[in-house]
Chains A and B, each alone.
Chain A
Amino acid sequence: MWKWFHQLASPPHFYRIAPTFSLVLLLPGLALIAYGVYAGLFLAPMDYQQGDAFRIIYIHVPSAYLSLMAYMIMAVAGGIGLIWRMKLAHAVAASAAPLGAWFTFLALATGSIWGRPMWGTWWEWADPRMMSELILLFFYFGYMALRGAIDDTAKADKASAVLALVGVINVIIVHYSVTWWSSLHQGQTIMAKEGPAMDPGMLYPLLANIFGFTLLFGSLILRRTRTEVLFRERRTRWVKEMILAPEGQR
């Protein structure tokens, strides 16, 4: 197990196998999303309160979930890189940040569009989840800005890992403080609480989309990391040998 792990973490090996793994994630991911989107849009029964507007949930929830998961990957990978000095982990963290920011943006945008027909406003300041999500987006920007500002890759890796770890605690505290804050200011009920049991016809497409988006995200992050590894190892022997090798052997 340990040996396999080490082999996986070796840059040339990772560079070689990443496309295969990526495809293994991509194809079922696309299939799940195809089912989830179709069933979510046309087969799932209408919500009795929100009508067809609730179908935005099939985009909103998976992206909100991924925005947090990308953050956790970024922080955990950063921590692994700091503690065990694993180069691949830092490359993973670097790749997770922009993807996480994209999904945070998607969660915010769909939340805002959903809010328009439901709450009558594009932006509801008193909704704690939207505020947490917005602060998370700011945090992604700060993380990427710090990475961009440090020229030395090794230094940028470690500094941003420290920032990501500090941020994990912060994300949790932000969530609680924003929830407390909105409980002070909430005039009307923001959103009906989810019922205890969702109709299976509604639930299965949602689960399919959550898994599908996650697989797609995995596929994207693998390939992003692969490029990152190639760039970081550009002066090494294995990259040179790979580039100079005859066509079919790359």
Chain B
Amino acid sequence: MMESLAMGGYGAYVWTCFGLAAAVLIINEWRVRARQATVYKEIEVRIKALEDSA
């Protein structure tokens, strides 16, 4: 098991690359969700405020 994780001595390179890929995908997934939530919230606050003042 440890042997296959070591990747014949290239483990550091290989695992860094796969880790980077995972990080990029997770960051993008998170950013998409965070932005949707922020934009929705901003619009909701503005519209509700307008509605209340009307």
A–B contact, 8 Å CB criterion (strictly below): yes
Interface residues of A (CB under 8 A from B): 37, 41-42, 46, 51-53, 55-56, 58-60, 63, 99, 102-103, 105-106, 109-110, 113-114, 116-117, 216, 220, 223-224, 226-227, 230-231, 234, 239-240, 243-244
A29 vs B7: C-alpha distance in the bound complex, in angstroms? Answer: 26
CB–CB A110/B32 < 8 A: no
Identity of the chain A residue whose Cβ is nearest the Cβ of B34 in the assembled complex: A227
Question: In the complex, which of the residues A37, A99, A227 contacts B35, with contact meaning CB atoms closer than 8 Å?
Answer: A227
The answer to whether B35 touches A41, judged by C-beta atoms less than 8 angstroms apart, is no
In this complex, what residue of A is CB-closest to B29?
Answer: A220
Of all A-B residue pairs in the complex, the 10 with the closest CB atoms, nearest first, are A52-B7, A53-B10, A52-B8, A59-B21, A227-B36, A110-B17, A56-B17, A51-B8, A223-B32, A52-B10
Partner of A105, one of B11, B24, B32, B39: B24
Contact between chains at A117 and B10 (CB < 8 Å): yes
Instruction: Assess the B29–A60 pair: CB atoms within 8 A.
Output: no
Chain A interface SS verdict (over half): helix
Measured between alpha carbons, how far is A123 from B15 in the docked complex, in Å? 19
B43 at the interface (CB under 8 A from A): yes
Contact A59 B25 (CB under 8 A): no
Q: Are B39 and A231 in contact (CB under 8 A)?
A: yes
Asked if A113 meets B32 with Cβ closer than 8 Å, knowing A55-B7, A239-B43, A244-B51, the reply is no
What is the CB-to-nearest-CB distance from A92 to chain B, in angstroms, rounded to a whole number?
Answer: 14
Q: Which of B7, B8, B17 contacts A60 (CB 8 A)?
A: B17
